[in-house]
Structure 1
Amino acid sequence: CTVVVHKRCHEEVVWKCPGSKTDAIDELQLEAAEQGLGRFNINMPHRFGVHSYKRPTFCDHCGSMLYGLINQGLQCSVCKLNVHKRCQRNVANNCGINAKQMALELAQLGLTGDKMSIRSKKKARPSAD
């Protein structure tokens, strides 16, 4: 997946990455996982339109600056997500979804965003005193 997130936040990514290099393999694994875990599917596409920015703006997908004088990138008319034209095909269909809130709810259920597996707690090692 090409989305840019903090290392500490990668487990909170709850959407499928459409531009993944392993889409074919992921599709097969996803079908099996959906049958076993009852995984939900978020499919709310963005409504992107060409936008000219008046101040420096960064791509919400890759993190790079949107450059140029006019028509620098695309902005979703619903959720105001800003992306490069080249990043549009890699953006997940999660328009209007509060990803942070969804990650918190999944955490309460004991699920993580990555692979939607049951979260395992790290066991504390006994100290050698």
Structure 2
Amino acid sequence: MATKVFINLPVKDLNKSKAFFEGLGFSFNPQFTDENAACMVISETIYAMLLTESYFKTFTKKEISDARKSTEVLITLDAASKEEVIGIVAKAKALGATMYSEPQDLGWMYQHNFADLDGHQWEFAYMDETQLPG
């Protein structure tokens, strides 16, 4: 079974995308980062590879979807608290992200989301599993 997850995302401007995610507090592994790609560290086992569109095209024969016009994927990451969700979404908005829905508070789960500079949809969620409905 796989032990690591690599999410590959095409980006229009690698430097702007790196700056956006660095502003949210993510770091990049320099060993896998160059002028074509940046390896964003999400956790010890989860990474997002931000690839320039021209480099991304070398991995597929299909057209690259425009994430601003159609949903390609929803990337959901867990958060340690409701306040962390609120904070990261506020930072994302200040860095140029767009909001595509209102936050949802289900009591046991709080989630909110944004679209990054290329339109990729990111969701952050806090779940209190002790409060899960029966």
TM-score greater than 0.5 by the shorter chain: no
Tell which has more relative contact order, 1 or 2 (C-alpha 8 A, sep 6+): 1
With normalisation by structure 1, the TM-score equals: 0.27
More strand by proportion, 1 or 2? 2
